[in-house]
Structure 1
């Protein structure tokens, strides 16, 4: 509880701690580092630094060894304090203060003010004192010596409005860059002073202007509005690169995904490519359906887990935060491609099963129609056999029954063969075609005794997909026949037109219209049906769509219910002989 309270207090009063730390540092810098007062102030400054520092969590309990090392380091630093140590310490503070990742405007203003104080102490006090520069105007020294005191106190007056957080991130790249720029500014000022024999303040001002112009020019070149895209691209690529650019790895994964058919093959090939990276020695992976190993294991392993895929990357040395992040990004790309490959395989499997299911549904419907045809033939044959017919009547009806069998049995045999072919090759893309006139005559023969009206206007004799036209005609005529059983006086008409490479088949009846909800769902999926599965017209519509035809309900009102099948046909004059 006490540690948590200390942690919350440190968060709440962080700007106050920072102000006290800067004030003690400023007083220590402007005192002699070897003077007892200067060392005492420096010791107090280091104590406040431990409360403020963004490296370790403030509520972390130090063990005996860590506490001993911290005390020993502080004691050595204070005992050996000199201008050189202060120079290095201020550079470190500049990096920590400038590298903080800040979100609120108040925080940015506070730390910008702190950065001004520390940089001023380094350039105005520590650098001249270390290099023995005594030509600085006393008024300038007094301005910075006493003028920075109000700034130190001003950092404590800025309200802390940010939300509490558990970590205190420091951008290492920004921290190093800022510390190196300030060090370069100090060295450039000294070099300019000795080379051109000018006073230190003037040399510092000239170096500051030169470095500022250089940074502004570099920032402009890296901005998208400058029009110089090559340098910005190189900069972005270098930030994401520790030996293997992301676009190269992404292209390699895409090539592997195209070459490999199964997820297992893709994973094995991708892992081989991962091992070829110069900083990865080996990799071991395992999942629900795959496991393997590539390369050589090392004592330095990086365990990673992406969904159901677990990996262990073996690297040549201890992995730092940058390498860990890079490994996670590379493996995440690999895992995404692997999951996409698994989904692709699952979709292909579902498509295959769906094709088998739809074929089975079509065959079931065809067999139902065949059974109905057989039942109709049996009923016709039984009606032609009275108990004791005269000899002439028996011979006449027997001849009629024989003609019926001769007419229908070849049709039934052909339809059974088509159903068997579909069961043996459900995904076959071939489609049997029949001359249009031959199919029309067969259809009229099949329904000769049903009382339907057939009309045709044909210019040629192209080939049509037999299974599609049979399925559509049988479904539509069967539905019309069922309506005839419940509604009296219904007429059924079948029309066929062909001209200019287009064929139109229509089935009309004069009964009641279909319900609006049923009409809307008729071709989009199975519907409720009392006589079957309600899937016949849905299957026929899907088959028509695949073959480039349209099956639609063009009229649905009282006295006129009209279905139409239309589409292009193979205009093959001379390929099929014309009848008549």
Structure 2
């Protein structure tokens, strides 16, 4: 085993520190907005940490040439199109996967650990990334850049102090609910695009647009939840959905 493989194996045995390091390097990439080269380097390191942290493919698995070619192509496209939109997509993917892990965790401190990580990613998206893609900067309102730059690392500090369960550091121990992750991904995407749409169509301020989008999403989820379950005199949507799933296989 080469020294690099040995280091990767050690990191795989410490899932807590992998996620904290992943978020820390992401924070550096976000702060390096004026230095594109340094930001791109931090993003590439972040991708490497993600490959070690992700629960889908074991680190011990050997990749064939086609898999390496796909990874190289994706990294090349990331370097070529590096910018705020790439970081937005990257943060949304990370938030969806972190949120998808929470569903399988019963140990309360470990659940809080992942919820704090999810809160950091959501804050990075709403307070740092999305305001930078708004065409009309006057609609963004008061900047929270100093508070985010210096305050959010405290989230990472709290994560280091939380006791985790024994299984949380086991490679592959953190399962991900893919359906729940996809649901979170779509919700965050609707939140981002809906906020931009409110700003574009109604010329409202950024935080007002975020609030309006959150309110709309909450009302829609409440309506879906109310119509989903069966009640006297009403057949819930879940019955039709179950029949549809049974009909297709």
Cα deviation 1:487-536 (Å, max 9, x = unaligned): xxxxxxxxxxxxxxxxxxxxxxxxxxxxxxxxxxxxxxxxxxxxxxxxxx
Query: How far off its partner does 1:227 sit?
Result: 8.3
Does 2:108 align with 1:123? no
Aligned to 2:48: 47
Task: Determine which structure has the larger strand proportion and give its number.
Answer: 1
Aligned to 2:211: 205
Matches within 5 A, 1:180-579: 180-223=186-229, 229-238=235-244, 240-241=245-246, 243-244=248-249
Question: Residue 17 of structure 1 contacts residue 52 of structure 1 at CA under 8 Å; is this kept in 2?
Answer: yes
The structure 1 residue matched to 2:109, chosen from 106, 112, 117, is 106
Aligned to 2:155: 151
**Aligned equivalents of 1:96 and 1:153: distance in 2?**
21
Query: How far off its partner does 1:138 sit?
Result: 4.2
**Aligned equivalents of 2:233 and 2:8: distance in 1?**
52
Question: Residue 141 of structure 2 contacts residue 206 of structure 2 at CA under 8 Å; is this kept in 1?
Answer: no
SS at match of 1:155: helix
Query: How far off its partner does 1:162 sit?
Result: 3.9
**Aligned equivalents of 1:218 and 1:114: distance in 2?**
28
- TM-aligned CA distance change 1:29 to 1:233, over 3 Å: same
Question: Residue 195 of structure 2 contacts residue 209 of structure 2 at CA under 8 Å; is this kept in 1?
Answer: yes
SS at match of 2:27: helix
Query: How far off its partner does 1:213 sit?
Result: 2.9
The size of the alignment, in residue pairs, is 242
**Aligned equivalents of 1:47 and 1:85: distance in 2?**
16
Query: How far off its partner does 1:209 sit?
Result: 2.1
Unaligned 5+ residue runs, structure 2? Answer: none
- TM-aligned CA distance change 1:167 to 1:207, over 3 Å: same
Cα deviation 1:188-227 (Å, max 9, x = unaligned): 1122122222111111112112212322342344356898
Aligned to 1:293: none
Aligned to 1:538: none
**Aligned equivalents of 1:61 and 1:24: distance in 2?**
26
Question: Residue 18 of structure 1 contacts residue 156 of structure 1 at CA under 8 Å; is this kept in 2?
Answer: no
- TM-aligned CA distance change 1:166 to 1:15, over 3 Å: closer
- TM-aligned CA distance change 1:109 to 1:33, over 3 Å: farther
Query: How far off its partner does 1:54 sit?
Result: 1.9
Task: Determine which structure has the larger helix proportion and give its number.
Answer: 2
TM-score between both structures, scaled by the size of structure 1: 0.38
Does 2:164 align with 1:160? yes
SS at match of 1:156: helix
Aligned-residue RMSD, C-alpha: 3.0
SS at match of 1:21: helix
- TM-aligned CA distance change 1:166 to 1:183, over 3 Å: closer
Larger radius of gyration: 1
Matches within 5 A, 1:65-84: 66-67=67-68, 69-84=70-85
Question: Residue 34 of structure 1 contacts residue 82 of structure 1 at CA under 8 Å; is this kept in 2?
Answer: no
**Aligned equivalents of 1:71 and 1:228: distance in 2?**
53
- TM-aligned CA distance change 1:207 to 1:165, over 3 Å: same
Aligned to 1:10: 12
Q: Which has the higher contact order (CA 8 A, sep 6+)?
A: 2
Question: Residue 195 of structure 2 contacts residue 213 of structure 2 at CA under 8 Å; is this kept in 1?
Answer: yes
Query: How far off its partner does 1:28 sit?
Result: 1.0
Question: Residue 95 of structure 1 contacts residue 176 of structure 1 at CA under 8 Å; is this kept in 2?
Answer: yes
Aligned to 1:59: 60
**Aligned equivalents of 1:226 and 1:217: distance in 2?**
17
